[in-house]
Structure 1
């Protein structure tokens, strides 16, 4: 029998070479990880694989955050033990702030505070009171979870602090008439803009200049007090009398708010030159005069056309303000005496079709996901040919609208009557337009009023512009508290105890007209809502629960068996 001998040196060489290969492999892996980390620190990139790019910040937001020169702190009170639908909004806020921190770096910090986390009821109530004093009002939001109605009192607010200044941010936006899950989705879509625009308002920057035109019976400082005070937080606001200034070149935008007396030709010339040279303008004008102070004893007033001498200016820019009044079945209310309660008159709110609630908007960044706005004595508008002007109908009445041509008798006692739906068949009527482009001057090829100075057809300093025209002079008027004499927030209706979105629309429009960074375009962000099939979910719930529990355990068992088999096979070869 022949024996084969293996030398000790040869048998020891095999394990030694295998060990060296393992060490080299380990060193290569560690070196690769270090190299990848080194490259990743210098070449920053992020991938958003979602269809609608929900985690991608706009270039304007990125630039704003990169340019931060001082720390910004965002304190969020939207956290706690929420049902799943509400946790989705909280998660959206966290994800948005995480993205903000990526580009803001050390200058962007955020914290979440649960308002209901107090150890005792007294402590929680004390904290709630402190939030109330800051202007943070709770919201009772309902949703349906597993077929059950769930309600939760939450504080959907954040507070942004920059350099000792603070500003509140309402995180729960959207249309209140929409279902709860749709409104939550609308709120998530608007998070980037709400937070970024608030940061921009607090960060010191070159402030734009807004001129509020006066001298023609326009709204006073008290009547427009809320929106003027809000503008002043971000812009420099001035009162401007056209007859006392040479031109409006020192301003970036002008506001014409409910004039009541005609504009002179020279005043109109200054408006025209400002707009055709790139200045931005917001017009809130009435087509008909409704003097509520002259209501007769039987409750009747007469609405007659204004003569503001602005019709030809609007017509040249591509718009015609019609002399009529719109009645809408989707309307607000007025208080009326409906009887006597003892010795006192009994006053009840009654629907008033001349106060339309506008809830139909263009899919434009100014009006996207906007709640209803409140209007009074409004007229419709038509567009006319104007070369190079883009016309966007931002606001429209509901499908059930009636049009009354001037002069219009207004009888407040009509509010007691049930309206006849057959009379409200005029469909959607536009009441607010955005005009954009290079406007042709009304005074082109004409002499300036009062002079022989000829105006060329295309002046050398002509630039594109944007103007907003709303056929309601009351749109930016605030009701005044009779006790204090201070204006309420714009859009607040004392009778319904509801705040409409007039304020938000005006601020969005101002931002769109004046902001050159394009941040307002973020409001066009859309996140598709993909709800589950609730019927199929109920039928297959148990199956998917078992799959989610059993599949990981089965995979783990298979992995363990394969690993044990490979180890056994590997070390069996050594034993042989």
Structure 2
């Protein structure tokens, strides 16, 4: 009887404990994440966005059933992610799952939402067949909606989801002024950067002479001016900073004219204005052994394209610890110039990015030679600064900010047939910089979450030479040492046997 009572209380205790843990888990969401990039942990930017949600959000997931295991795993991860979103938004997010393949009505509903079926190869009974599946999602806030037409397997959805929720729930976007009138690239040629910035900001082209009030803009952007900026216009920038303004500047101090085979100095007046602030941009081309490539056509019996390293396209993978550069791994610049601080301690100067240990600089004007043989004496200036910030009172009592990049084209896509894709971290840099200048944490930490680029570290020629000969000689040396040890052991054994009275 006593044993039966003991078993009853044990079962009652365990059952009560399970019920209690379930009740706690329904209120508090806890999950351990041991992945390197914390892919299963919501970023702080996402949590902040979800805490600010004040309207109900409806998320409809249009997903077919009987998906392959790898695709089904991505869908399951997405469902778990939506559960977390619901928890952190204080139950403001409702979501439903619809299988459009179930009937024609649901299929038409998915098509009306902008989600089309995609062909997917499925193996069944050792046969490969193509199946039409739906893998999309619609997010709705009031009468506004956004659609993700295809959920790509293996891709983290947190950034996409958080960006769309932010876009749908933001009330009034702060205004950012894009300065024009001095040969700056048009907004159409900055489509990657503008697409990223337009999530949180309203970008407006302005002219310094005709804009009545610069102070209404959170931040001003001055990207790659090529024409002269008058003292009157620079004076307006001074007045803007004196009132606590923030400016992002990408300066084109030198210009590489590859078709003409020359590189020339660019003078707009902006370089002298920056120098008065303490930011000196040299009229030199940065060259770096860690660099991008250009395509040249080799002539011979056949003409064929070949990729050649071009040190005028430095690859930047060394960054300071700053909110602008958090999570960045690789930026690619073109015809950049080094930045040096020549001011005093009244302002706070912070370098952001640096060239590699094998870099140098060539003073403009120069001639380009694609086939040039680069030597060690061409890379005598390591750790050159390519971007920096400056903070403090600049002509007034209020705190002002400047973020400067020594390359005016690092975010320019171009237009038409000359359009080129820009490195993702180049866009992350400008977006993070605008967030920092605008005193808005925005999506800074979330933009670079899950980045997995792992560029190889450059080594000096002497180190390469040393490693090569160590790999060649070390096995031989070890074999010789081992042979000498065996020879000495056998010699001692032989001498021992030759002594009188030795008995084996």
CA contact (8 A) 1:60 1:517 kept: no
Residues in 2 aligned to 1:427 and 1:22: alpha-carbon distance in whole angstroms: 74
Residues in 2 aligned to 1:195 and 1:238: alpha-carbon distance in whole angstroms: 26
2:359 is aligned, of 401, 412, 433, to 401
Map 1:124-203; keep pairs closer than 5 Å: 161-162=139-140, 163-166=144-147, 195-203=161-169
1:392 alignment counterpart: 350
2:350 equivalent to 1:415: no
Q: CA deviation at 1:270?
A: 1.3
Cα distance 1:113–1:23, how it changes in 2: closer, same or farther (>3 A)? closer
Map 1:311-390; keep pairs closer than 5 Å: 311-340=271-300, 346-387=304-345, 389-390=347-348
Residues in 2 aligned to 1:372 and 1:32: alpha-carbon distance in whole angstroms: 50
2:179 alignment counterpart: 213
CA deviation profile, 1:490-528 (whole Å, cap 9, x unmatched): 50xxxxxxx55322332232233335356535669899x
Look up the SS of the partner of 1:352 in the other structure: strand
2:401 alignment counterpart: 466
CA contact (8 A) 2:200 2:442 kept: no
CA contact (8 A) 1:365 1:524 kept: no
Q: CA deviation at 1:46?
A: 5.3
Q: CA deviation at 1:336?
A: 2.7
Cα distance 1:289–1:161, how it changes in 2: closer, same or farther (>3 A)? same
Q: CA deviation at 1:219?
A: 1.3
Q: CA deviation at 1:49?
A: 7.2
CA contact (8 A) 2:253 2:271 kept: no
User: Cα RMSD over matched residues?
Assistant: 4.9
Residues in 2 aligned to 1:429 and 1:95: alpha-carbon distance in whole angstroms: 45
CA contact (8 A) 1:366 1:523 kept: no
CA contact (8 A) 1:400 1:426 kept: yes
Residues in 1 aligned to 2:233 and 2:388: alpha-carbon distance in whole angstroms: 23
1:567 alignment counterpart: none
Residues in 2 aligned to 1:112 and 1:350: alpha-carbon distance in whole angstroms: 51
2:303 equivalent to 1:303: no
Cα distance 1:24–1:350, how it changes in 2: closer, same or farther (>3 A)? closer
Q: CA deviation at 1:287?
A: 1.5
Look up the SS of the partner of 1:244 in the other structure: coil
Look up the SS of the partner of 1:283 in the other structure: strand
Residues in 2 aligned to 1:508 and 1:76: alpha-carbon distance in whole angstroms: 33
Q: CA deviation at 1:307?
A: 2.2
Map 1:55-70; keep pairs closer than 5 Å: 55=41, 58=44, 61-62=47-48, 64-70=50-56
Cα distance 1:96–1:290, how it changes in 2: closer, same or farther (>3 A)? same
CA deviation profile, 1:10-55 (whole Å, cap 9, x unmatched): xxxx99xx99x99999999999999x799969x9555677799984
CA contact (8 A) 2:336 2:407 kept: yes
CA contact (8 A) 1:332 1:357 kept: yes
Residues in 2 aligned to 1:357 and 1:289: alpha-carbon distance in whole angstroms: 18
Q: CA deviation at 1:208?
A: 1.2
CA contact (8 A) 2:431 2:444 kept: no
Q: Which piece of structure 1 moves more, 325-334 or 44-53?
A: 44-53
Structure index of larger Rg = 1
Q: Which piece of structure 1 moves more, 25-34 or 62-71?
A: 25-34
CA contact (8 A) 1:339 1:347 kept: no
2:83 alignment counterpart: 98
TM-score (structure 2 length as normaliser): 0.66
Map 1:496-515; keep pairs closer than 5 Å: 499-514=423-438
Residues in 2 aligned to 1:50 and 1:224: alpha-carbon distance in whole angstroms: 37
Cα distance 1:512–1:393, how it changes in 2: closer, same or farther (>3 A)? same
Q: CA deviation at 1:200?
A: 0.8
Residues in 1 aligned to 2:22 and 2:350: alpha-carbon distance in whole angstroms: 51
Q: CA deviation at 1:471?
A: 0.8
2:61 equivalent to 1:81: no
| Alignment length (residue pairs) | 419
CA contact (8 A) 2:327 2:449 kept: no
1:531 alignment counterpart: none
CA contact (8 A) 2:256 2:263 kept: yes
Residues in 2 aligned to 1:168 and 1:395: alpha-carbon distance in whole angstroms: 37
1:263 is aligned, of 206, 217, 229, to 229
2:410 equivalent to 1:475: yes
Q: CA deviation at 1:267?
A: 0.8
Q: CA deviation at 1:102?
A: 0.2
1:223 alignment counterpart: 189
Look up the SS of the partner of 1:416 in the other structure: coil
Cα distance 1:81–1:418, how it changes in 2: closer, same or farther (>3 A)? farther
Q: CA deviation at 1:223?
A: 3.0
Cα distance 1:94–1:407, how it changes in 2: closer, same or farther (>3 A)? same
Runs (4+) of structure 1 exceeding 6 A deviation are: 21-34, 36-41, 48-54, 89-92, 111-114, 168-172, 523-527
Q: Which piece of structure 1 moves more, 385-394 or 314-323?
A: 385-394
TM-score (structure 1 length as normaliser): 0.59
2:444 equivalent to 1:520: yes
Cα distance 1:322–1:159, how it changes in 2: closer, same or farther (>3 A)? farther
Q: CA deviation at 1:240?
A: 1.0
Residues in 2 aligned to 1:258 and 1:282: alpha-carbon distance in whole angstroms: 11
CA deviation profile, 1:161-208 (whole Å, cap 9, x unmatched): 233223689999xxxxxxxxxxx9xx87xx755543342123242111
2:253 alignment counterpart: 287
